Amino acid sequence: MATIGRRTGAVGTALVLALTIGGSALAGIGIDRSSDEQALAPTRAPASATIEQKVDKLLSQMTTQEKLQQVQLLSDGQITDADAKAGVGSVFSLVDPEQINHFQHIAVEQSRLHIPILFAYDTIHGYRTIFPVPLGAASSFDPEVAQADAAVGARESATEGLKQVYSPMVDVSHEPRWGRIVEGAGEDPYLGSVMAAARVKGAQGTDYSAPDKVVSSVKHYVAYGEPEGGRDYNTTDMSESRLRNFYLPPFKAAIDAGADTVMCSFNAINGVPGCANKYTETDILKKEWRFDGFVESDYTAVAELRACPPVEPDSGPCGHGVAADGPEAGAAALMAGTDSEMVSTNIRDYGQQLLADHQITMSRLDDAVRRILRVKFRAGLFDHPYVDVTTASDPASYGRPEDLAKSRWAASRSMVLLKNDGQPLPLDPSKSTALIGPLGATVDEMLGPWSGRGTDPLAPKFVTLFDGLKAASSAPVTYTAACNLAHNFDPPNNANPPITPDEEVCAGPGDDGTTIQDAVTAADNADQVVLALGESAFMSGEANSRSQLDLPGHQEELLDAVAATGKPVVVVLFNGHPLDLTAVQDKAAAILEAWFPGTEGGNAVADVLYGKVDPGGKLPVSMPRGVGTVPYYYNHEPTGRPCDATFKWNSRYRDQSTCQPLYPFGYGLSYTSFDVSNLKLSRSSVGRNGTVTVTMDVKNTGERAGDDVVQMYIHDPVASISQPVRRLRGFQRVSLESGESTTVTFTLDKSDFGFYDNRGKFVVEPGTIEVYGGDSSAAAMERSFTVTR
Write down the least CB distance from residue 97 to ligand BGC, Å. 19
Is residue 180 classed as helix, strand or coil in its secondary structure? helix
Write down the least CB distance from residue 166 to ligand BGC, Å. 4
- Choose among 131, 88, 240: nearest CA to 599: 131
Write down the least CB distance from residue 182 to ligand BGC, Å. 12
Closer residue to ligand BGC (CB): 166 or 596: 166
Could you say which of 127, 166, 538, 713 contacts ligand BGC (CB under 6 A)?
Answer: 166
Whole-number Cα distances in Å, 690 to 21, 224, 687, 754: 17, 35, 5, 12
> Are the beta carbons of 177 and 577 closer than 8 angstroms?
yes
Write down the least CB distance from residue 339 to ligand BGC, Å. 16
- Of residues 606 through 665, those in contact with ligand BGC by CB under 6 A are none
- Choose among 634, 607, 608, 605: nearest CA to 619: 634
Closer residue to ligand BGC (CB): 135 or 676: 135
Q: Exposed, middle or buried, 215 (CB in 10 Å: 0-12/13-18/19+)?
A: buried
Write down the least CB distance from residue 343 to ligand BGC, Å. 8
List, in sequence order, every residue forming a beta bridge with 714; answer none if it has no partner. 727, 771
Closer residue to ligand BGC (CB): 298 or 749: 298
Residue nearest to ligand BGC (CB): 166
Is residue 504 classed as helix, strand or coil in its secondary structure? helix
Size of the site for ligand BGC (CB under 6 A): 7
Rounded (to 5) percent helix, strand, coil in the chain: 30, 20, 50
Closer residue to ligand BGC (CB): 199 or 219: 219
Alpha carbon distance 154, 125 (integer Å): 10
Write down the least CB distance from residue 506 to ligand BGC, Å. 30
- DSSP track, 698-761: EEE-SSS-EEEEEEEEEE-SS-SSPPPS-EEEEEEEEEE-TT-EEEEEEEE-HHHH-EE-TTS-
Could you say which of 103, 141, 299, 466 contacts ligand BGC (CB under 6 A)?
Answer: 299
Question: How many other CB atoms are found less than 10 A from the CB of residue 743?
Answer: 12
Q: Return the amino acid letter for 61.
A: Q
Write down the least CB distance from residue 58 to ligand BGC, Å. 27
Closer residue to ligand BGC (CB): 298 or 535: 298
Question: How many other CB atoms are found less than 10 A from the CB of residue 469?
Answer: 28
- Of residues 553 through 572, those in contact with ligand BGC by CB under 6 A are none
Alpha carbon distance 771, 465 (integer Å): 42
Closer residue to ligand BGC (CB): 3 or 78: 78
Q: Return the amino acid letter for 789.
A: R
Q: With the C-alpha atoms ordered 447, 451, 457, 458, is the resulting torsion angle positive or negative?
A: negative
Alpha helix positions (H), 312-361: 326-336, 346-356
Could you say which of 256, 281, 467, 542 contacts ligand BGC (CB under 6 A)?
Answer: 542
Closer residue to ligand BGC (CB): 160 or 556: 160
Question: How many other CB atoms are found less than 10 A from the CB of residue 51?
Answer: 16
Write down the least CB distance from residue 299 to ligand BGC, Å. 4
Residues in the chain: 789
Alpha helix positions (H), 80-184: 81-86, 97-105, 134-139, 143-159
Write down the least CB distance from residue 312 to ligand BGC, Å. 24
Helix (H) or strand (E) holding 65: helix 64-70
Out of 292, 298, 339, 757, which one is annotated catalytic?
298
Could you say which of 125, 219, 567, 750 contacts ligand BGC (CB under 6 A)?
Answer: 219
- Choose among 682, 688, 681, 680: nearest CA to 787: 688
Alpha carbon distance 680, 268 (integer Å): 44
Instruction: Answer yes or no: 298 catalytic.
Output: yes
Alpha helix positions (H), 379-509: 389-392, 401-413, 465-472
Whole-number Cα distances in Å, 12 to 6, 142, 359, 405: 10, 14, 57, 11
Residue 453 as a binder of ligand BGC (CB under 6 A): the answer is no
Closer residue to ligand BGC (CB): 188 or 542: 542
Could you say which of 122, 142, 171, 707 contacts ligand BGC (CB under 6 A)?
Answer: 122
Closer residue to ligand BGC (CB): 122 or 149: 122
Closer residue to ligand BGC (CB): 166 or 632: 166
Whole-number Cα distances in Å, 99 to 79, 299, 334: 10, 22, 30
Residue 304 as a binder of ligand BGC (CB under 6 A): the answer is no
Write down the least CB distance from residue 92 to ligand BGC, Å. 6
Residue 298 as a binder of ligand BGC (CB under 6 A): the answer is yes
Catalytic center residues: 298
List of residues contacting ligand BGC (CB under 6 A): 92, 122, 166, 219, 298-299, 542
